[in-house]
Structure 1
Amino acid sequence: MMVGGMITEPNFVLLHGLGSSSHLWVHVAENLAGVRPLHPDLPGFGSEQASRARDVAGLADFVASCVHRAGFERFVLVAHDFAAGIAVEVAARGLSGLVGLGLVSPAPLRAELPRDLLDRLMSLPGDEAALRAYYRSAVNRECALEDVETLVRDGVRCDPHEWRAWLTERRDLREEASRVTVPTLILTSDAAFDEGDFSNLKEVTRLHLEGVGAYPALEAPRQVTKHLLHWTRTTLRDVTDGSNAQ
């Protein structure tokens, strides 16, 4: 978008993953200087009430309505963890103004989780001690104590049915991924990451975040922001002035 002869960045819509809230993106949002981000609480998490529609399609409807209310002319949709499936569903619909898709440590939606991991995750909501132990083990870099405690509080106050619905819905999104027409950036913190559900995405840039655990936006917010902005200004350079906006 041109303002006074200068190209401005597209807006960023940042989706938190399982069990967290909009706080997950607070440091990245602060580093996106001059760019208006939107990082909503998803239904059942943070301050947002649970929804009757707990599947990926229903959550995509919620995100689409948030974007519509924000009035963004063009935006990049970024999602963490299990929210990657929501973002792919939204992108597959060709939402007006969407110019790019970013997936940060995306979790697979098609493959079953190992039984021991699934059992542990299913038991976490509402259990403060278990949540604290889990989050402390999930980060590789030192997170601010306040951020870890916010993750714990989010897990205590979340809707447990919403939490468990995210874990139990298995859905093959490869067809939806094949309908995504915008470029995609995948930031992985797992060197053994298998694209799986996301293998049908087109124009993919994949980068590995060395030494980062499961919560890059809290562990390495400056690094995440740098990659997002660099990708926006290079791969998406033709749409920052609105020339390719959908």
Structure 2
Amino acid sequence: MTAPAAGRRWALVHGFGTSRGIWRRVLEDLPGGALTPELPGFGDNADAGRPGQTTADMAESLALTLRAAGEGPYRLAGHSMGGKVVVLLAARYPDLVDELLLIAPSPPTPEPMSDEDRARLRAAHGDAAALTRQYHDVIRAPVPQEDFDGLVRDGLRADAEAWVAWPDVGSLEDIRSELGGLRAPVTVLYSEDDPAITPDTIRRKVLGALPQARAVALRGSGHFIPLERPQDVLALLTAQEAQA
């Protein structure tokens, strides 16, 4: 993990099947860097995955990591699945979180996904060709080959039980009843061209559950905004830093 020298810190939380590598282009130009924790079952934390793990399981693990790192409260950014995780963490532990940036987040409601898409997602684990197709399908802007290859590698090394737990458990959970404790200001960055978390899902399921949130829409990016449009993520991180 890389930490800034002083002040409230950003912690950048990856999404389903990925790792801290999703932030590599953002971190290149982020003053002071950030914490980049990895959720149980993914990245270097793959061994911590377990059958049926829930959004709460991941949020509690993340809370322990942040408390161990010290120097909170944190600014938290979460991509995709990580967006749902950080919202729950912020609601449960408002002392840990100053603000939230949700990037193409999975909604607090059950995520709209067909049975066929859930089956394809489950089956992609450990299959490089299936992962390659899956990622090509949700990317809309040019991504350096090394970054695309990193996505596939992360998918291959993810824990099998944690991988299946997301389409079967975490993505189906409704955490809205726990959001009463959410105090941090929320910004939602999303793409109108994202085929995974569609703009309709963002508007109805994310912003509908978080009416206090500020929405920032992009065009020309798919689901992996931190790799496809890192400059837009960086602009929000640094703008919020300047306002602190």
> Same-fold call, TM > 0.5?
yes
Pick the aligned partner of 1:220 from 225, 229, 239.
229
Q: Is the 8 A contact 1:178 1:201 kept in 2?
A: no
Q: Shift in Å at residue 198 of structure 1?
A: 5.0
Q: What's 1:157 paired with?
A: 157
Aligned-residue Cα RMSD (Å) equals: 1.9
1:131-177 deviation digits (Å, cap 9, x = unpaired): 11211221110001000001001111111210110111121121223
CA distance in 2, matches of 1:195, 1:112: 11
CA distance in 1, matches of 2:155, 2:111: 24
Q: What's 1:72 paired with?
A: 71
Q: Shift in Å at residue 90 of structure 1?
A: 0.4
Pick the aligned partner of 1:47 from 44, 57, 60.
44
SS of equivalent to 1:32: coil
CA distance in 1, matches of 2:231, 2:37: 20
Are positions 1:206 and 2:208 aligned together?
no
After superposing on structure 2, the runs of 4+ consecutive aligned residues of structure 1 that deviate more than 4 Å are none
Q: What's 1:187 paired with?
A: 189
Pick the aligned partner of 1:37 from 19, 34, 38.
34
Q: Give the fraction of aligned pairs with identical amino acids, expressed as a percent.
A: 30
SS of equivalent to 1:38: coil
Q: What's 1:133 paired with?
A: 133
Unmatched tracts of structure 1, length 5 or more: 1-7, 241-246
TM-score by length of 1: 0.85
SS of equivalent to 2:75: strand
Q: Is the 8 A contact 2:191 2:223 kept in 1?
A: yes
Q: What's 2:196 paired with?
A: none
- Please list, as runs of the form range in 1=range in 2, the aligned pairs for 1:74-153 lying within 5 A after superposition: 74-108=73-107, 109-153=109-153
- Please list, as runs of the form range in 1=range in 2, the aligned pairs for 1:51-66 lying within 5 A after superposition: 51-52=49-50, 54-66=53-65
Are positions 1:174 and 2:193 aligned together?
no
Q: Is the 8 A contact 2:41 2:158 kept in 1?
A: yes
Instruction: Give the aligned residue type for 1:59.
Output: M
Q: Shift in Å at residue 9 of structure 1?
A: 5.4
Q: Is the 8 A contact 1:172 1:197 kept in 2?
A: no
TM-score by length of 2: 0.86
1:7-60 deviation digits (Å, cap 9, x = unpaired): x653111111110111011221222112x4111221111111133471111111
CA distance in 1, matches of 2:73, 2:48: 28
Instruction: Give the aligned residue type for 1:45.
Output: F
SS of equivalent to 2:48: coil
SS of equivalent to 1:230: helix
Unmatched tracts of structure 2, length 5 or more: 1-5, 193-198
CA distance in 2, matches of 1:207, 1:176: 24
Pick the aligned partner of 1:22 from 20, 23, 33.
20
Q: Shift in Å at residue 75 of structure 1?
A: 1.5
